[in-house]
Copies of this chain bind each other. A is one copy, B any other.
Amino acid sequence: MGIQERKEREKEHRREEILNAAQKVFFTKGLQAATMDEVAEVAELSKGTLYLYYKSKEDLYLAVMMRGMGILYSMFEPIALSQEPTVVKLVKMTEAYYEFFQKHCNYFRMFYFFQNPQFHKQVSEEMMQCCTGENQRVWELVVRVIQQGIDEGDLRSDISPMVMGVIVWSSANAIMMRMDTQREYFQTTMNVNLEDVLKISNTLLLQSLMTESAKRKYASLFQPAGMKERVAVN
């Protein structure tokens, strides 16, 4: 009975095609302005069919967002699994997240909505669990590296790895969100370069989480984080 299996494959393929169409529309229009009619048109299907595969516009939106999470995971994984020193791994992971933000800005933007509780209400239970699961996967990667850093004595042992993770992640996230929405505003009206802000913030936080011995060991990593020069203008 290869037919059942072929049908499964075709169904999966349809799901993907709908996702491709939705991605195009959401990327160009955003959640609000995108319409299911337009997604249907791009997918060359009727609107009704979309609802056979996804429960709502919001579910579809999250399904696209999950692709982004997958990409982020695939960028973090090789770093986490590499043989480099933990502190280096952490620096590389923050850089990777910034790279993700730059190269996959549209996915990054979708993460906004996941933060908004109003949005949560419009999403099906399953999709929500699916997302938190994917989220968890990425998160565990981060925490594992931090734990390793603590075990090796490079990171302080008086703060739990999860707490460290939340601190570093949240602040990087917040600054990148600002880059996305207000980069020019900060640049022109305040002469603040948000790329510098991100670098400085990451450096300060990471250093304050490191042990004294690690600071000495990895001092060279942070030396050229140019704070003085750019600021001196003012």
Please list the residues of chain A having a beta carbon within 8 angstroms of any beta carbon in chain B: 30-33, 109, 112, 115-118, 120-122, 132, 158-160, 162-163, 166-167, 170-171, 173-175, 177-178, 180-181, 185-186, 190-192, 194, 196-197, 200-201, 204-205, 207-209, 227-228, 231, 234
Contact = CB atoms under 8 A, between A and B. Distances in A.
B160 A178 contact: no
Contacts of A171: 167, 170-171, 174, 201
Contacts of A192: 160, 162-163, 166
A163 B200 contact: yes
Contacts of A31: 118
B178 A116 contact: no
Copies of this chain present: 2
Contact of A231 (B117, B159, B191): B159
Given A115-B181, A174-B171, A207-B208, A197 B163 contact: yes
B115 A163 contact: no
Given A163-B200, A192-B160, A200-B163, A181 B116 contact: yes
Contact of A158 (B116, B158, B201, B228): B228
